[in-house]
């Protein structure tokens, strides 16, 4: 009896185990799934807007003051859903509008999560760039715990509402993200494969001057284009055109057509900032052509990002608010910030040619030439061409793809001697070379001359 009883109990245990295993398998294979929707927002305080002030001409601005200091959608970022075990159960991205619709699926160990939270990463969904902290970790924002609503579908998701990723003061990382994403979406991505195929996986690390484990010490922001790294300084977060946009412009310049920006000894071709005896640079400093042109072209993208080609008085500056200063009872663009200005619009050449301070060598002079090639607003009888309206815009932005290889006149590596051991032509690969290589598209030499003939 004992043996028979033991056998009966064993069979029952086996049957029970079989049932439990079946139930367990069923719960794994039929883990719960659901969908969430909503939108992500953050406070925008990025500088470079056109202010509502007496005398300021905002015709053609893409960034008026009404877009400043308000909530902006967080566009095209990677996001994920995590369960109450902090395990990723869903991944997706926001749209340009900041809206999102993302699916989640329970795991084997937690098939029916009761709570979830959402994380937004300052990482472009197409892996174009990401904003990181000094320690290299990608910046993120997340929700508190969210109670799961069961039975949601793609058509009827759980709407978690409008989520603000920064409360109170503006988040510096999300603002730098806004600036870079705006420039990428409005300017570089539409310009085609010269950028979309090469400008990728860029790390933008901030905000600190000295970052020994990254790009080292710099009193301002710094870019090493071949390594796809941008180091943002302490004051960079809200300085759109002068920092994030400008530094990302250097990356765009280099990766549309790689060239010998440095040689094997580490000598930098574009770092020739000593024409005026001052190692620094800015819109009002006087530089060798290779340096002035490189800095100006890097800023061209940010200028286009904030101003239409039809703009009357576009500006660029390094400022966390705007580019304008008091001028009597009115306001006017600050010194060397008006991109549309020229000293040679009419019959008289008013360009400053003083030996120590020639207008031709100012960085802003190169940018004014480049802008005139792009814009459709005539500021003189010579300015009768626009790369934008003639559908040459992408060609202008990716012009380095047209340069012949070599170190000769108007060639890609023109600043170098033939052995690449020294920068022997410091005015090479500048505005003169640009005009020469653009000649097959349109003759822009008069625009260069009428903008005080930058080298």
Confidence of residue 9 (pLDDT cuts 50, 70, 90): very low
pLDDT at residue 384 tops 90: no
pLDDT at residue 8 tops 80: no
Report all structural domains of the chain as residue ranges with CATH numbers, in order of start: 31-172 (2.60.40.10), 260-455 (no CATH)
pLDDT at residue 16 tops 70: no
pLDDT at residue 3 tops 60: no
Taking a C-beta distance cutoff of 8 angstroms, is the pair 72, 91 a contact? no
End-to-end CA gap in the chain: 108
Confidence of residue 383 (pLDDT cuts 50, 70, 90): confident
pLDDT confidence of residue 31: 74
- Rounded Cα distance, 259 and 412, in Å: 7
Q: What average pLDDT does the chain have?
A: 92
pLDDT digits (tens, 9 = 90+) for 262-300: 999 999 999 999 998 887 888 899 999 999 999 999 999
Q: What is the CA radius of gyration of the chain?
A: 28
pLDDT digits (tens, 9 = 90+) for 217-272: 777 898 999 999 999 999 999 999 999 999 999 999 999 999 999 999 999 999 99
DSSP secondary structure string, 69-106?
SEEEE--SEEEEEEETTS-EEEEEE--TTSEEEEEEE-
Average pLDDT for residues 155-161, to the nearest whole number? 98
Taking a C-beta distance cutoff of 8 angstroms, is the pair 130, 203 a contact? yes
Confidence of residue 168 (pLDDT cuts 50, 70, 90): confident
How would you classify the pairing of strands 129-132 and 202-205? parallel
* Tally of CB atoms within 10 A around 368: 27
Tokens matching residue 331: 């306001």
Confidence of residue 26 (pLDDT cuts 50, 70, 90): very low
Tokens matching residue 55: 């005398």
pLDDT digits (tens, 9 = 90+) for 48-103: 999 999 999 999 999 999 999 999 999 999 999 999 999 999 999 999 999 999 99
pLDDT confidence of residue 4: 37
pLDDT confidence of residue 30: 60
Tokens matching residue 120: 């937004």
- Rounded Cα distance, 400 and 229, in Å: 21
């Amino acid at each position: 009896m004992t043996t028979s009883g033991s056998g009966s109990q064993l069979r029952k245990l086996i049957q029970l185990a079989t049932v439990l295993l079946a139930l367990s398998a069923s719960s794994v294979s039929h883990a719960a799934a659901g969908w969430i929707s909503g939108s992500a927002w953050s406070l925008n305080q990025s500088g470079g807007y056109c202010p509502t002030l007496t005398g300021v001409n905002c015709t053609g601005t893409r960034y008026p003051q009404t877009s400043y200091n308000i909530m902006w959608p967080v566009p095209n970022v990677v996001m994920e859903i995590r369960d109450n075990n902090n395990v990723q159960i869903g991944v997706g991205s926001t749209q340009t509008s900041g809206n999102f619709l993302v699916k989640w699926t329970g795991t084997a160990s937690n098939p029916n999560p009761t709570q979830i939270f959402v994380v937004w990463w300052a990482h472009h969904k197409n892996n174009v760039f990401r904003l990181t902290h000094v320690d290299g970790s990608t910046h993120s924002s997340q929700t508190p715990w969210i109670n799961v609503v069961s039975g949601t579908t793609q058509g009827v998701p759980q709407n978690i509402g409008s989520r603000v990723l920064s409360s109170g003061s503006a988040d510096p990382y999300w603002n730098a993200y806004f600036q870079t994403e705006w420039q990428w979406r409005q300017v570089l991505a539409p310009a085609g494969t010269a950028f979309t195929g090469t400008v990728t996986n860029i790390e933008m690390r901030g905000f600190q001057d000295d970052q020994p484990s990254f790009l080292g010490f710099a009193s301002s922001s710094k870019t090493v284009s071949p390594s796809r790294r941008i180091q943002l300084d302490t004051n960079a977060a809200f300085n759109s055109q002068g920092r994030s946009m400008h530094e990302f412009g250097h990356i765009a310049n280099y990766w549309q057509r790689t060239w010998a920006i440095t040689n094997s000894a580490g000598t930098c071709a574009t770092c020739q900032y000593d024409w005026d005896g001052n190692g620094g640079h800015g819109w009002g400093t006087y530089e060798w052509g290779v340096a002035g042109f490189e800095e100006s072209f890097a800023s061209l993208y940010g200028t286009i990002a904030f101003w239409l080609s039809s703009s009357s008085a576009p500006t660029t500056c390094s400022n966390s608010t705007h580019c304008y200063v008091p001028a009597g009872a009115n306001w006017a663009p600050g010194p060397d910030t008006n991109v549309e200005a020229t000293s040679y619009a009419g019959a008289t050449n008013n360009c400053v040619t003083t030996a120590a301070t020639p207008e031709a060598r100012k960085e802003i002079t190169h940018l004014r030439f480049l802008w005139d090639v792009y814009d459709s607003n005539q500021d003189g009888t010579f300015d009768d061409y626009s790369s934008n309206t003639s559908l040459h815009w992408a060609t202008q932005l990716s012009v380095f793809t047209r340069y012949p290889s070599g170190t000769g006149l108007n060639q890609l590596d023109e600043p170098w001697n033939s052995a690449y051991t020294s920068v022997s032509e410091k005015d090479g690969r500048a505005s003169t070379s640009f005009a020469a290589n653009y000649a097959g598209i349109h003759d822009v030499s008069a625009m260069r001359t009428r903008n005080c003939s930058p080298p």
